[in-house]
Structure 1
Amino acid sequence: MTAFALTEGQQQFVAHVRAVAVDELRPVVDAGEEGHVNRELLKAMGTHGLLARLFPSASTGRPAAAMDLCLMREALATVSTEAETALALQGLGSYPFLLSGNDAVIDTWRPAVVSGDAVAAFALSEPDAGSDAAALQLEARPDGDGWLLHGEKMWISNAPEADIYVVFARTTPDARARGVTAFAVAGDAAGLGGEHLDLISPHPVGRLTFEGVRVGPADVLGEVDRGFTIAMRTLDLFRPSVGAFAIGMAQAALDTAIAYTKQRKAFGGVLSDQQAVSHKLADMATRIEASRLLVYSAAGAYDAGADPAEITRRSAMAKLDATETAQFVVDAAVQLVGARALQRGHPLEHLYREVRAPRIYEGASEIQRTIIGRSLTR
């Protein structure tokens, strides 16, 4: 890829993903239930090879290139945000154990995640540790050669229905980021409970409770007390792709607004003839393209093995700008289409509900600005 255009191969890949989404995934999405894991959707993604693209190397289990991940998420989001989110959560929930798990953990869970038979989840946030993730308090109490987990996690996507959770727990008190360990925890582990949370997002989000959930040395991902690094490395990969998700939503909203304003009769012509309307469309399209290039830049830096500090900064810029752009574009599209865009079931009504959360999760916009600012003045 150049700085300005996708290669022919990348364009063909995007076209393929969109075609699968339209022909194969959207009908399965429509048959699902909002707020719950759509296991048939995950199976369809596995059948058509999309989940395998998250982990292209069978020999190493390495995750997808950041660019591939971004292209998949953007392409899916223009067709179905539910399909996009289902794919993204499989990646987010499994990348940490692919990055740092032992062979037994990888061999157990990777094939099931790729086929869509197992649902993965990333469990970092807590009631009092959201943006300040290093303040997490889920306690890992020593127990023989292992630990017992006590506490709770909150705002966890795919909870409480996931089959495998990557859980970040405190193994050293009062050490903030230096005292956190990542564990692989099966969804049916004794002492693990949970409940759904009723949010406006169409995908499942829940609370998890840990009442003496036992984890042993084989469940540790990476090193004891070094789990926070795994969380941050995971977010460095997925933050640009959150931007890609946002760009996909924004593009869908723009396309809807263009189609509507070109046929809506008003003031002796069509609505798009009005300069106020055409200028708004121009602003929407320009901001989308600028954000898309930031996302590509961040993904390219990750794939090129740039300095970790540069990767973190570019990832933060991409997520910040793209999610803020998507909020602007979807809101502007609703304004142009008018009251019908607020009717339940309208594409823009769905996007209007969906677009708000990405400005919060995986690091709120304010946190991204803090990361960028510190990188400039360090």
Structure 2
Amino acid sequence: MPDFLDARHQRWLEVAEQLAPELVTLADHAGADGDSELAGAVREASKAAGVFAMTQPAAFGGTEAGALALCIVRDTLARHGVGHLSGVFGPSPGVLAQVGEPLRSKFLLPYLAGELRSGFGFTEPSDAPRPTWARRDGDELVVNGQKSYVTGGAEADFINALVEVEGAGPAMVLIETNRGGVTLTQRFATLDGSHHAAFTFADVRLPATHVIGEAGRGMGRALAQISATRMAIAADCVGQCRFALQLVADTLTARAARHALEDHPNAVGTAPERVTLGNMRIAAYAARSALYRTARLVDAGENAVNEVMAAKSLATETLSRLCDDAIGLVGGTALIDGHPLADMLRRVRAMRLAEGPTEVLAANVSRGHLDLGLGRI
């Protein structure tokens, strides 16, 4: 664990270490068709531990634990191989944070209570003629366009979508999925097991009160939610790095024990294997250190957008390399369906793309330094 944890953050580490074995047991005993059943059991265990409410505002009964505390818990659970389980964390307000009426009562409160489900609509398909837009018509907005990769969209009651409002600029707009003109055109799963959807909007009429916050400032709200998701991905990845490192060390130790003679014990790992493992540990140390430094910047209220992008890129790319190296050291059994490294390989490829591909984030980090004078080393 990175140094200088205060008593509060040390307590979160202990909570996560106590919760992890319980989640491992639940996952090990999940039935073949038990995805929803497992998620429910995970949710109840997480609530009992106090983890479920970490992502929820204190004003609504949550603990709103902060970036560092969330990193500690996500990192720890992923180290035990259960960070990816659905149901660990409760719904966070995201772009709906601090909204007023009528959105607060009609959508935010039921959403935080688990009575409504939402999707996040940021990305247009590559062949879209223009970004999703809206025009004002009296007290209404008329929305047209398309959104793809709406995470959780197939089951969503509403979508928080980035929309270009004519004459005002980008805005986050809440669009109910059962409104006239809203069409779910595709639902699909990606190789990491995530579920997404695509939508079209054809003259969808909404009350002007469905603009979240102020029109013209929607990109900032969207990027704040994206930054939080990037931090979650990075924390999960550094935890998975530790899981992979431990699995490799255990494999090399067991292999040496099987081939040892009583009076001529073998060294654990050949020289090339030791070099590979050493490089893996060095890379994981760098990624984990960057993540925790970034979390402290976020909690301090600093502008850490560029650092978050750097931490997410470093964590996902490091896990990708470590996973590949781990498979090479463990051998062919690691490619069998259901093996932890095979599952990890699927997840990490998706995480390298989620919330901005590595190449795009690198270009944005350069822009932050060259054009805006932002970003730290």
Q: Scaled by the length of structure 2, what TM-score is found?
A: 0.83
Paired with 2:35 and 2:150, the residues of 1 have a C-alpha distance of 12
Match of 2:375 in 1: none
What one-letter code is carried by the residue in structure 2 that aligns with 1:315?
Answer: V
| Other-structure match for 1:225 | 216
Alignment of 1:223-262 (within 5 A): 223-262=214-253
The one-character-per-residue Cα deviations of 1:37-93 (angstroms, maximum 9, x if unpaired) are 98636753774343321124116989541112222322332332432x6557934xx
Aligned ranges 1:1-378 → 2 under 5 Å: 4-24=3-23, 27=26, 30-31=30-31, 40=40, 43-44=43-44, 47-48=47-48, 49-58=50-59, 64-78=65-79, 79-83=81-85, 90-91=91-92, 94-99=93-98, 101-128=99-126, 137-172=131-166, 179-194=169-184, 195-265=186-256, 272-306=268-302, 308=303, 311-378=304-371
Distance 1:211 1:37, change over 3 A: farther
Rounded Cα–Cα distance in structure 1 between residues aligned with 2:115 and 2:24: 16
1:210 CA displacement:
2.5
Say if 1:82 and 1:271 are closer, same or farther in 2 by CA, change over 3 A: farther
Normalised to the residue count of structure 1, the TM-score between the two structures is 0.83
Deviation of 1:364 after TM superposition, in Å, equals: 1.4
CA separation of 1:129/1:277 partners in 2, compared to 1, >3 Å: closer, same or farther? farther
Cα 1:314–1:190 change in 2 (3 A) is same
The residue type paired with residue 122 of structure 1 is F
- Code of the aligned partner of 1:128: S
The alignment-based identity, stated in percent, is 23
Cα pair 1:102 1:218 within 8 Å, conserved: no
Which structure exhibits the higher relative contact order, with contacts defined as CA atoms closer than 8 Å and separated by 6 or more residues?
A: 1
Query: Structure 1, unaligned stretches of length 5 or more?
Result: none
Q: Give the superposition deviation at 1:327.
A: 0.6
SS of 2:84's equivalent in the other structure is helix
Q: Which moved more, 1:5-14 or 1:109-118?
A: 109-118
CA drift of 1:312 comes to: 1.4
Distance in 2 separating the partners of 1:321 and 1:184: 33
Write the deviation string for residues 278-316 of structure 1: whole angstroms up to 9, x where unpaired: 22222112211211111111111111112x2xx112112
Instruction: Kindly state the Cα deviation for residue 256 of structure 1 after the two structures are TM-superposed.
Output: 1.5
Between the aligned partners of 1:37 and 1:369, the Cα distance in structure 2 is 40
- Give the secondary-structure state (helix, strand or coil) at the position aligned to 1:4: coil
Contact 2:46 2:89 in 1 (8 A): no
Distance change >3 Å, CA 326–CA 24, structure 1 → 2 = closer
Report deviation, 1:125.
Answer: 1.0
SS in structure 2 of the partner of residue 197 of structure 1: strand
Give secondary structure in 2 for the equivalent of 1:82: coil
8 Å CA contact 1:327, 1:356 repeated in 2: yes
State how far apart, in whole Å, the 2-side matches of 1:352 and 1:301 are: 30
CA contact (8 A) 1:341 1:348 kept: yes
Tell me the distance in 1 between the aligned counterparts of 2:346 and 2:212: 35
Structure having the higher Rg: 2
